[in-house]
Amino acid sequence: MGPTLDTARLTLRLPREEDLDGWADLMADEQAAQFIGGPIPRSGAWRAMATMAGSWSLKGFGMFSVIEKSSGEWIGRVGPWRPEGWPGPEVGWALRKSAWGKGYAREAAEAAIDWVFETLDWSEVIHTIDPANVSSQRLAMALGAVNAGPTRLPPPLENFPVELWRQSREDWRARSPT
């Protein structure tokens, strides 16, 4: 068991095995997976999903499965993430292409950021974003993050180019109506 967050259109909950079809679809899609390590087969998607579920047991947080309320469909993963060696406490996002352009990533990220600042008492949130990922850069800016420049991820991801976007809890609270 863990937290469930509700927004106007979405439910954010812990990953479940029943999410595998959606997770595998996201991770097999070349365009959707381009900036999150690239496409992987269903077996790899299962391991990635299990990693997120395991993060909840080990750390008390991990990315949420994002469920569209109107359809009950799994549309992506959004939330806190900080594996060993990560450059900071991240809130990240990845949605299936069918959910793009609807404002879901922002809606889910806002709920997740509120949750980490209130529940986990983080003092800042980062987003590690590929310099070519313009959509995620726009979302980070809309969330109030600023680009702090290039950073490195831990092995085996050290060769992926990423920029560190960040925001403090104080800046978040100053801009957020909640």
Residue of 88, 78, 164, 83 lying closest to 122 (CA atoms): 88
pLDDT for residue 178 is more than 80: no
Q: Rounded to an integer, what distance in angstroms lies between the CA atom of residue 83 and that of residue 86?
A: 6
Q: Determine the average pLDDT of the residues in 23-45.
A: 95
Contact 139, 93 (CB under 8 A): yes
Stated pTM of the model? 0.95
Contacts of 168-176 with CB under 8 Å at 24 or more apart are: 168/123, 168/124, 169/117, 169/122, 169/123, 169/124, 169/125, 171/144, 172/113, 172/117, 172/125, 172/144, 173/117, 175/144, 176/110, 176/114
For residue 77, give the H/E element and its range: strand 74-81
| DSSP state at residue 98 | G
Burial class (CB in 10 A: 0-12, 13-18, 19+), 152: middle
The pLDDT, as a whole number, for residue 1 is: 74
- What is the band of 153 on the pLDDT scale with cuts at 50, 70, 90? very high
Residue 170 backbone phi and psi in degrees, to 5: -65, -45
pLDDT tier, 10 (very low <50, low <70, confident <90, very high otherwise): very high
Give the pLDDT confidence of 70-119 residue by residue, as tens digits: 999 999 999 999 999 999 999 999 999 999 999 999 999 999 999 999 99
- Given the candidates 3.40.630.30, 3.40.50.720, 1.10.10.10, 3.30.70.360, the CATH classification of the domain at 5-175 is 3.40.630.30
3-class DSSP state of 72? coil
Mean pLDDT for the chain overall: 95
CA distance 54 to 6: 22
The stretches of the chain forming alpha helices (DSSP H) are 20-28, 42-59, 104-115, 134-142, 169-175
Domain boundaries, the chain: 5-175
pLDDT of residue 2: 85
pLDDT digits (tens, 9 = 90+) for 13-26: 999 999 999 999 99
